[in-house]
Amino acid sequence: MSVATTGVRQSDLPRPDSDRYKWLVLSNTTLGVLMATIDTSIVLIALPDIFKGIHINPLQPGNTFYLLWMILGFMIVTSVLVVSLGRLGDMLGRVRMYNLGFVIYTFFSLLLSITWMSGTSAALWLVIMRLFQGVGAAFLIANSTAILTDAFPEHQRGMAVGINQIAGISGMFIGLVLGGLLGPIQWRLIFIISVPIGLFGTIWAYLKLREVPTKRDHHVDWSGNLSFAVGLVALMVGITYGIQPYGGHVMGWTSPLVLGSLLLGVLGLVLFARIEKHSDDPMFRLSLFRIRAFSAGSISTLLAAVGRGGLMFTMVIWLQGIWLPLHGYNFSNTPLWAGIALLPLTGGFLIAGPLCGFLSDRYGSRPFTVGGMLGAAASFLLLQFLPANFSYPVFGALLFLNGLSMGAFSAPNRASVMNSLPAEHRGVGSGMNSTFQNSGQVISIGIFFTLMIIGLSRTLPHALFVGLTNQGVAAATAQHISTLPPVTTLFASFLGYNPMVHLLGHHVLASLAPGARATVIGRTFFPRIIQKAFVAGLHPALAFATIVCLFAALTSWLRGGRTPPRRVSKNEVVIDVLSAANTN
């Protein structure tokens, strides 16, 4: 039977030596993606130790730039570059680009660990090196799934992509624990740990991975790359600074910088779409969206990331600012224990991802993607019924349900997307899907923080004023403190600082009676003050996540039946003859 009648390409057929090689590919690409995603969150938990080590207070006016870009810069860079680097992989060789990613990532991890400066110069150095580290991660993420798809036959891709995908997502939560463990010992360790792993992975990939021949008569779409980069960076910058105070406002959505960035971002992306539509060799293959499995899977990826992206930040603040102090933990120790408390979420991912990826190879992806998103929506809905000072077994069970649900969705969804792509476009298709995921996470953080701050600003000022005046703080001082932007309070607890020490300052604390001072800076004063206001902000954020996950379930349902890989011409998708009756 010919390729034309089956729709199966020669490059997709298993090679005689492919059985051993495919497991080598899975091992190496999983290591690369795991390393890249661990560093997304390892910095998150270790930020207090990093800023103490370079002698800078990130909460002082003017220093929040370093705080925000240390948190979000890595994700912004990977969001912008994965499509372009996936495209370069299709043109120049996926293994070659992947190996280069290992080199770049390892080199800048080393530079991050040898900072000799202090203060703002050290902070700027770390931000810049962190951005370049993100470039290396983008090389790895953009090409790993395409290399994996090349190595595995279609009937095993769900399992393989599942292991790779869930390792990547779980890396974000593993990083929370590693950051909490290594940061207090020596902040440089959180970057040094990537160096030997990166060296090993680089040598291993260089010696063992091999290129799969693809059509490479492509050209770089410079205008498309530039307009896409400008548009997406501007959009991400606008979202990043939108959650920061501006003037007398608790957030910066009315700031000229934010409004201008958002407008520039939209115009840049509109221009990009116009350029791609008329390009002979576009970077972003808009014609791929005519493949229903690809378009539905990519939109589902975006929606799932928007629903999930802000979850980690929200849970960390909930644990560090309220639950852990109420249960006897010092604020300085809360980053580590917050990471440990989130382990059920990681456990759910690790169990459901490979298992559902394997099952989706047999039964199709649609039952798992739809079911996963419905389960995630249910977990977000049930979290709204928990009090601020919850019972941990119930909280842990809901986190585990969320991890299971997201794991059940992620692996089959990515496998379905990759299976729908023709071999010559797997790199750019994988990059496009990763862009949706990474951009969705940044957008989610902005939305979650915005909804939480709106809720906090309604009730927190009054609660703070009453609580402080009851402990002897002068009314004028209490009024001033209670009107400070809530995001400052959130970041203080997020960074493991005692929020009341940060808000009041040593001068005000010194003016209080010893008993009142001990009460105000104690473990329970701030959590009891903020818990009602926090719940008021948390519920809209969780309701938003619930609705988004329901839409993701609907989009997943619309992906249709299982379809073979398809050829894409310059301007249209030519569907192969084979049609399948199995439901995907």
Span 544-581, pLDDT tens digits: 999 999 999 999 898 765 544 444 444 443 333 233 33
Domain ranges, ordered by start, for the chain: 16-210+283-456+533-570, 457-532
The stretch 283-308 carries a mean pLDDT of 83
pLDDT of res. 174? 78
pLDDT of res. 17? 47
Q: Which strand (E) or helix (H) includes residue 423? A: none
pLDDT over 90 (residue 65):
no
392-419 and 525-557 are packed helices; what angle lies between their axes, rounded to 10 degrees?
30
**444 Cβ contact list (under 8 Å, min separation 6):** 305, 306, 307, 308, 309, 310, 311
Rg (CA), the chain: 24
pLDDT digits 0-9 by tens, 151-193:
888 777 777 776 777 777 667 777 877 887 888 888 899 888 8
Residue 196 tokens, joined:
């030997």
Q: Does domain 16-210+283-456+533-570 have CATH number 3.40.50.300?
A: no
How high is the mean pLDDT of the chain? 80
Q: Which residue has the higher pLDDT, 88 or 387?
A: 387
pLDDT digits 0-9 by tens, 32-56:
878 877 877 788 778 888 888 898 8
**Which ranges constitute the DSSP H helices of 114-183?**
119-151, 157-182
Query: Which residues share a beta bridge with 246?
Result: 249
N-to-C CA span, the chain: 24
pTM above 0.95, yes or no: no
What is the residue whose two structure tokens read 């300085």? Answer: 332
What does the DSSP 8-state code read for residue 424?
Answer: G
pLDDT of res. 217? 54
Using alpha carbons, list the distances in angstroms from residue 134 to 109, 116, 127, 265. Answer: 10, 21, 11, 21
The stretch 413-432 carries a mean pLDDT of 76
Candidate ranges 32-46, 305-319, 431-445, 542-556; pick with highest mean pLDDT? 542-556
CB atoms within 10 A of CB 298: 24
Residue 558 tokens, joined:
């619309």
pLDDT over 50 (residue 271):
yes
User: What proportion of the chain, given as a percentage, has pLDDT over 90?
Assistant: 14
Give the Cα separation of 50 and 54 in Å (integer): 6
The stretch 448-467 carries a mean pLDDT of 84
User: What proportion of the chain, given as a percentage, has pLDDT over 70?
Assistant: 88
Give the Cα separation of 145 and 349 in Å (integer): 18
Count of H-run helices and E-run strands, the chain: 23, 2
CB 178 within 8 A of CB 190: yes
Give the Cα separation of 335 and 317 in Å (integer): 9
CB 346 within 8 A of CB 403: yes
Give the Cα separation of 444 and 126 in Å (integer): 25
Q: Which strand (E) or helix (H) includes residue 155? A: none
CB 483 within 8 A of CB 247: no
